[in-house]
A and B are shown apart, each in its own frame.
Chain A
Amino acid sequence: MTLLSIEGVSRRFGNVTALSDVSIDIQQGEFFALLGPSGCGKTTLLRILAGFETPDRGGVRLDGADLLKLAPHKRPVNLMFQSYALFPHMTVAKNVAYGLERENLPRAEIKARVGEVLEKVGLEPMANRRPAQLSGGQQQRVALARAIVKRPRLLLLDEPLSALDKKVRAEMQLELKRLQHEVGITFVVVTHDQEEAMSLADRIAVMDQGRVEQVDAPVTLYDRPRTYFVADFIGANNLFTGAIRGGVFSAEGLGPLPSKATTADGPAALAIRPERVRLTEPTPGMVQGVVVDVSFYGGVSHIAVEVTGLGRKVLAATQGSARITPGTVVGVTWRPEDAVLIAN
């Protein structure tokens, strides 16, 4: 069931286009991510959903009703701010109770619900502390508790983990996911960190320069990128520009490359993941190059190959340590079905 539908939303600031005709449908109970580099418009979209910005064009419906007509404080949407925005003059319990007090609920119910949610995020012992007395991870949990205690239809999270160090981050990622299952609220998370988006979200909208490039499940985004930007942005990729003619992709300066053409003739790009690239004995007609760099990362090794005629390195990844040494001349190939063709 569609909970939120964003229909053709556009927003300009002066002559900067923050959002350009963005349409996304988000399902009830989904963990959805808006992913893109900074300045791609994802935060503007989030602020429109929260009511702090208004779009120039387009509409937003929540449960079928026009969301844009409601003032920010009347929307059944809660936002967890990037910097948490906890009220510094209130205790943890007061911060969490703030939203419930605005609903004029009986005091006993407020107390019970605050206690319940603090227990859920493991912060009961901190109830009487002020935000300044908490660690970053604890503040993040207060912010989360304050947002979910209202039981919103939709929870927005703006770069929820960006202020945390790596270890706490991994922990909180798991916790976020567990919480989302537990409370059953629809989550929309904004992030520039693709690992975060990939590990958390059911579906991801990749955005660039105010446009939605692709909306798909993480695995599909990785395996079947539909635009050049997505292929380049998500994970490591080797990209060749060229054209498809007669069902065969030819790269500029290299000639035909292994692929199964599914798109029509015309300019296109070919993307092949480093872990799909195979290095072999060079044979005539094959793309050839010289190994320039081998780096060992524990589980995998990355081999950079300077390809003749390309002027750029092709990256290959192998399991474990590589037996190849710099200076070796190799053939670079892959299975045709592993290559992804992207029409321009």
Chain B
Amino acid sequence: MSRGRGSNLARLIFLGPGLIMLTLLAVVPMLLMLSTMFFQRGRFGGVVYEFTTANFSRLFQPLYLNVIQDSLVVAGLVTVLALLIGYPTAYAIAQLPPKWKTIALLAVMLPFWTNFLIRMYAWTILLSGPGLVNEALTGIGLIDKPLELLYTRGTVVVGLLYGYLSLMILPIYSAVERLDPRLREASANLGASPVRTFFSVTLPLTLPSALIGAVLVFVPSFGNFVVPEILGGGKAIMVGNLIRDQFLKARDWPFGATIALVMVVVTVILLLAQAVVSRRTRSA
């Protein structure tokens, strides 16, 4: 092949900067950091390079297992809710006339461009005891005394959902938008009702993108420590908080790295599952 050499060089030049950033500068330090889990913590922080497996046995203590399990449940709940709310939203946006489509997409992305921390603090104003929601509810006489809206696990779920919903909507929207409208017409023409068409044609063909959305929502929810801290009031601890505490408060890098490994493993499993499902629906 005559074009082989030249285009290989071009490919390398294009790929180089991005891949170096992402592999050398991200994977290498992360591997170095993760490798500390085989060692002991120093007395005043830092790492003492003596091999140990103590970090792993500590991980399996009920205390930590519970936090991991809770985090999985919260992130899973957030993902399912995001899917249930995000899919209809994305579907509806894709059916809008072009002008309204742009406006709706902007509305979806606008909060995403706003600082995450600020958005979460803004919610505390909304949900606190004398906050806007409670005022409104007592105002219209629906409740007698303010509800405890802040600092519960439910608040954390709602906060994460609010924070990451757009990551679910955008990939689904692009899949529904790309879907050939004639496939739906063909389905109707062959005698399928609109509901049947949705479940037999639209949903299966947009599922891979919904799964991408699910991974995009699940992963940052699972490792989040800002939302449990601000909206959960530090009472609902998640894996993210645990890691943060180990690194910043307990100065126990080796154990922090061990918990971080859990996150990496969960993420990799999810990505693999998503890849398998989307390959099965796409080609085969």
Tell me the complex Cα distance, A50–B185, Å. 9
- Interface stretch among B35-43, B47-55, B192-200? B192-200
Contacts of A166 in B (CB 8 A): none
Given A88-B205, A89-B205, A146-B190 contact (CB < 8 Å): yes
Q: Residue B24 at the A interface, CB < 8 A?
A: no
A85 & B185 in contact (Cβ 8 Å cutoff): yes
Q: Is B109 an interface residue (CB 8 A)?
A: no
Cβ contact within 8 Å between A87 and B186: yes
Chain A residues numbered 116-165 whose CB sits less than 8 Å from any CB in chain B = 130, 132, 146, 150
Given contacts A87-B201, A89-B205, A98-B200, whether A150 and B191 have CB atoms under 8 Å apart is yes
A83 to B201, CA, bound (A): 17
B183 at the interface (CB under 8 A from A): yes
Main secondary structure of the interface of B (DSSP, over half): helix
Interface string of A303-335 (1 = CB under 8 A from B): 000000000000000000000000000000000
Which among B186, B193, B204, B284 is the interface contact of A81 at CB below 8 angstroms? B186
* Contact residues in A for B185 (Cβ distance below 8 Å): 50, 52, 72, 79, 81, 85
Which of B183, B186, B201 has its CB near the most chain A CB atoms (within 10 A)?
B186
Interface of A, secondary structure class, is: loop
Q: How large is the interface on A (under 10, 10 to 19, 20 to 34, 35 or more residues)?
A: 20 to 34
Residues of B within 8 A of A (CB-CB), count = 21
Residues on B with C-beta less than 8 A from A72 are 185, 188-189
Q: Which residues of B contact A78 (CB under 8 A)?
A: 189-190
CB distance from B211 to the nearest CB of A (A): 14
Query: Which residues does chain B contribute within 8 Å of A79, judged by CB atoms?
Result: 185-186, 189
Task: Check if B196 sits within 8 Å of A102, measured CB to CB.
Answer: yes
Given A50-B185, A52-B185, A89-B205, A130 and B191 contact (CB-CB distance below 8 Å): no
Q: Is A99 an interface residue (CB 8 A)?
A: yes
In the complex, chain B residues whose CB is within 8 Å of the CB of A150: 190-191
For the complex, is B99 an interface residue (Cβ under 8 Å from A)? Answer: no
A51, B284: Cα distance in complex, Å: 33
A73 touches B (CB below 8 Å) = yes
Would you list which residues of chain B between 144 and 198 have a CB under 8 Å from chain A? 180, 182-183, 185-194, 196
A→B interface (CB under 8 Å): 50-52, 71-75, 77-79, 81, 83, 85-89, 98-99, 102-103, 130, 132, 146, 150
- Top-7 shortest CB links A-B: A99-B190, A102-B191, A85-B186, A85-B182, A72-B188, A73-B188, A79-B189
For the A-B complex with A79-B186, A89-B205, A98-B200 known, give 20 more contacts whose Cβ atoms are closer than 8 Å.
Answer: A50-B185, A50-B189, A51-B189, A72-B189, A73-B188, A73-B192, A73-B194, A75-B189, A78-B189, A79-B189, A83-B182, A85-B180, A87-B183, A87-B186, A87-B201, A98-B187, A102-B190, A130-B283, A132-B283, A150-B190
